[in-house]
Amino acid sequence: MLKVENLHVYYGAIHAIKGISFEVNEGEIVSLIGANGAGKTTTLHSISGLIKPSSGHISFMDKSIGGMTADKIMRLGLGHVPEGRRVFQDLTVQENLELGAFSVKDKDFIHREYTRVMELFPRLGERRKQLAGTLSGGEQQMLAIGRALMGKPRMLLMDEPSMGLAPILVKEIFSIIKECNNDGVTILLVEQNANMALSISDRAYVLETGKIVKTDTAQKLLGDESVKKAYLGG
Amino acid sequence: MVIIEQFINGLNLGSIYALMALGYTMVYGIAKMLNFAHGDIIMVGAYTISVATTNLGLSPILSVLLSMLVCTVLGVVIEKVAYKPLRMASPLTVLITAIGVSYLLQSVALLIFGSKSQRVASVINVAPVTIGGITLTGESIVTLGVTIVIMILLVLFINKTKVGKAMLAVSEDRGAAELMGINVNNTISLTFAIGSFLAAVAGALFVSSYGFVDPYTGALPGIKAFVAAVLGGIGSVPGAMLGGILLGIIESLSKAYISTQLSDAIVFGVLILVLLFKPSGLLGKQRVTKV
Ligand SMILES: Nc1ncnc2c1ncn2[C@@H]1O[C@H](COP(=O)(O)OP(=O)(O)OP(=O)(O)O)[C@@H](O)[C@H]1O
Ligand SMILES: [Mg+2]
């Protein structure tokens, strides 16, 4: 479904991504794990068109999307829950969700999906008219996920959805990711919380300073000694 | 009584500043740039009206409509030709380009019309009204009325329509807005179109109240409108409205009661004072981000 080949990204002189290749098949949950600064966010930004890679090839549903603007890529069905949530703080919860469906023409879908998001995240329902900037961090994360779902994605890129959340909320967010996947949304998940990420993933790639150093099924990586040492806290 | 008349003069002038300040503030909010050529759009609008009424013999209404069309198209074209290629350039490059565009517009006007100021007949044909000893000119009545209507429509458009909310989203976080499928280039074009349209309205009101146009007609009001936008909090739509009106009133009252020469100094003094106590302007936000 998503295919990245020989991707290179530079920030000025910094070579942040050094020729990585990977793919995500339809229906999978695939994790990209790696330490701070490994290049996970940079990879996701390159895929969704927020930054221009220096070279490489990216295709989504057999269509080359390299060089397309982010709004076009989103309209193809590739959603992105960005790092740090980036909800629109000066707009209400409801307005944020409506903007999530900005590109969707099907009014019935918008209505149904809105109701479904409210059921997935009852806290958002209670805070419909509240400005997003006044939500707690966890609520903003729910809003960011709900907002992406409103855009009718076939695939979701999720950048550290568990960041800064209490353990109980982390569990909840991960079970919702799993649920979205069961509903047919393919997922590429970036996480610091490798344990949790691997536990819901089919496969994973390990990224180290801009290179993929390991890939396997999530099950095998959970048992891998070096991965355990580096990312699973021993 | 005089003070009330001066106050109304201030409202009149302030309305024009406010309409122009909206252009500065919206473009700043969405495109993150200071469009210093914005003031010169009102000059183009004023000349268009002058040519339309005297040379083409169009009616006032048609002249104003033509001026709106010319300014709106010009604003969008300037953005596409001069600023769009600089989307990734440093803010300083963009700023210098904007100043260049401003000089370009002035020079072209100078070439076509010469440096002498031209008289322009008012496009407003409304009889003055006297209430309790205070006379309101037709120009004042129309200026205030038009400004109020435009502001209400603009606020409704931005806060209630889908496209308006998309503009708010782009102004807050361009990347996140793109991830919603919002086309940023179209949004920026629309912002320039709206800003230039408002400048055309301001230009029509300006020539009607002051009766002349020359190639530098837009320069000083442009700077004042920029000050108004900063005073109100650049990027804030209600701020631009408030800043413009306040500036007009302060200018008018200080001309009447303190000194005509000092009125600009007082205007800038107020700006400095406000920024000392509230660096983000009267209605500007200091954002608190949650981590
Ligand atoms: N805008 C930028 N300008 C310059 N360097 C950048 C920029 N963004 C990222 N980098 C650098 O690129 C590298 C990869 O950054 P990236 O944000 O992709 O890491 P990450 O894996 O997402 O890290 P984290 O887990 O901390 O979010 C880092 O060395 C970072 O300093
Ligand atoms: Mg990151």
Per-residue pLDDT averaged across B48-59, rounded?
93
Separation of CA A126 from chain center: 25
Per the rule left: phi > 0, alpha: psi between -120 and 50, beta: everything else, B99 is alpha
Spatial CA neighbour of A147 closest among A196, A200, A92? A92
Q: Phi and psi for A187 in degrees, rounded to 5?
A: -135, 130
Cβ atoms within 10 Å of A148's Cβ, excluding its own: 24
Separation of CA A10 from chain center: 22
Computed over every residue of chain A, the mean pLDDT equals 93
Spatial CA neighbour of A143 closest among A174, A100, A109? A100
A90 interaction partners in chain B (CB closer than 8 Å): 168, 172, 285
Spatial CA neighbour of A153 closest among A215, A77, A56? A77
Is B233 a residue whose pLDDT tops 70? yes
Spatial CA neighbour of A205 closest among A31, A29, A50, A27? A31
Contact A75 B181 (CB under 8 A): yes
For B164-199, the pLDDT digits (tens) are 999 999 999 999 999 999 999 999 999 999 999 999
Q: Is A109 in the pocket of ligand 1 (CB under 6 A)?
A: no
- Per DSSP, what are the bridge partners of residue A20? A7
- The DSSP H or E segment spanning B133 is none
pLDDT (0 to 100) of residue A227: 82
pLDDT (0 to 100) of residue A225: 84
B184 interaction partners in chain A (CB closer than 8 Å): 69, 71
Among chain B, residues having any CB pair with chain A shorter than 8 Å are 162, 165-166, 168-169, 172-173, 175-185, 285, 287-288, 290-291
- Cα–Cα distance measured from residue A125 to residue A113, given in angstroms and rounded to the nearest whole number: 13
For A102-156, the pLDDT digits (tens) are 999 999 999 999 999 999 999 999 999 999 999 998 899 999 999 999 999 999 9
**Chain A window 154-173: which residues touch B at a Cβ cutoff of 8 Å?**
164
Is B291 a residue whose pLDDT tops 70? no
| Nearest-by-Cβ selection for A88 from B162, B176, B178 | B176
With CA atoms as reference, the chain A residue closest to B175 would be: A50
Spatial CA neighbour of B244 closest among B12, B15, B60? B15
Q: Phi and psi for A56 in degrees, rounded to 5?
A: 120, 175
SS3 content of chain A, % helix, strand, coil (to 5): 40, 25, 30
Separation of CA B182 from chain center: 26
- Greater confidence (B260 vs A45) lies with A45
Is A224 a residue whose pLDDT tops 90? no
For A169-222, the pLDDT digits (tens) are 899 899 999 999 999 999 999 998 888 899 999 999 999 999 999 999 999 998
Is A71 a residue whose pLDDT tops 80? yes
Spatial CA neighbour of B167 closest among B202, B130, B193? B193
Residues 6+ apart with CB under 8 A from B120: B46, B49, B50, B53, B207, B211, B212, B213
| Nearest-by-Cβ selection for B183 from A50, A71, A140 | A71
Residues 6+ apart with CB under 8 A from B119: B211, B212
Pocket test for ligand 1, best of A7, A8, A9, A14 (most atoms within 8 A of CB): A14
Q: B206-221 as b/e, with b when 16 or more CB fall inside 10 Å?
A: bbbbbeebbbbbbbeb
Q: Phi and psi for B65 in degrees, rounded to 5?
A: -60, -45
Is B289 a residue whose pLDDT tops 80? no
With CA atoms as reference, the chain B residue closest to A80 would be: B179
With CA atoms as reference, the chain B residue closest to A164 would be: B291
DSSP state of A233: -
Residue A226 — pLDDT band, cuts 50, 70, 90? confident
Pocket test for ligand 1, best of A32, A42, A45 (most atoms within 8 A of CB): A42
Report field, pTM of the whole predicted structure over 0.95: no
- Per DSSP, what are the bridge partners of residue A79? A156
Spatial CA neighbour of B128 closest among B274, B278, B8? B8
Residue B213 — pLDDT band, cuts 50, 70, 90? very high
- Compute the half-sphere exposure of residue B104: CA atoms within 13 Å on the CB side of its CA: 12
- The DSSP H or E segment spanning A165 is none
Is A42 a residue whose pLDDT tops 70? yes
SS3 content of chain B, % helix, strand, coil (to 5): 75, 5, 25
